[in-house]
């Protein structure tokens, strides 16, 4: 008595397991893509904010604010501690995504220079 050979092909359970493995692989690839896209967006925002900060601080008006291409910015000036002739400038840039980038620097006080003249 010879048994008839089984038909060639996959069983239902094999197909379900293969589909589950493929779905896990696609989910991992999607997560990698999403993470990479977020990192690229953050890097682009940081580069633009850095260029904007350089431009704004080159000839900064104390206590000024504005918006450029969706990037809101505020410059706050305060006297440096210790009675020096420096003032501290704090530039806060808010990117369109809501991320805040803050730059703090010091420069010769424009207020004291004009007051001493």
In the chain, what are the domain boundaries? 12-116
The model's pTM is 0.66
From residue 111, give the alpha-carbon distance in Å to each of 9, 23, 53, 59, 108: 85, 65, 21, 14, 9
Q: What is the pLDDT of residue 16?
A: 95
Q: Is the distance from CB of 75 to CB of 56 less than 8 angstroms?
A: yes
Task: State pLDDT tens for residues 52-102.
Answer: 999 998 887 888 999 999 999 999 988 888 777 888 899 999 999 999 999
**Tokens 């008006």 correspond to what residue?**
61
The band of 113, judged by pLDDT with boundaries at 50, 70 and 90, is very low
pLDDT in tens, 3-44: 556 677 789 999 999 999 999 999 999 999 999 999 999 999
Question: In the Cβ-directed half-sphere of 23, how many Cα atoms lie within 13 Å?
Answer: 6
Gap between the Cα atoms of 98 and 37, Å rounded = 16
């Amino acid at each position: 008595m010879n048994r008839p050979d089984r038909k060639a092909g996959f069983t239902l359970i094999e197909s379900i397991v293969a589909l589950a493995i493929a779905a896990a692989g696609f989910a991992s690839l999607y997560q990698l893509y999403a993470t990479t896209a977020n990192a690229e967006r953050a890097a682009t925002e940081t580069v633009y904010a850095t260029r904007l900060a350089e431009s704004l601080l080159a000839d900064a008006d104390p206590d000024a604010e504005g918006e450029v291409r969706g990037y809101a910015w505020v410059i706050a000036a305060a006297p440096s501690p210790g009675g020096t002739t420096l003032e501290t400038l704090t530039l806060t840039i808010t990117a369109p995504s809501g991320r805040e980038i803050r730059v703090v620097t010091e420069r010769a006080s424009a207020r004291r220079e004009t007051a001493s003249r």
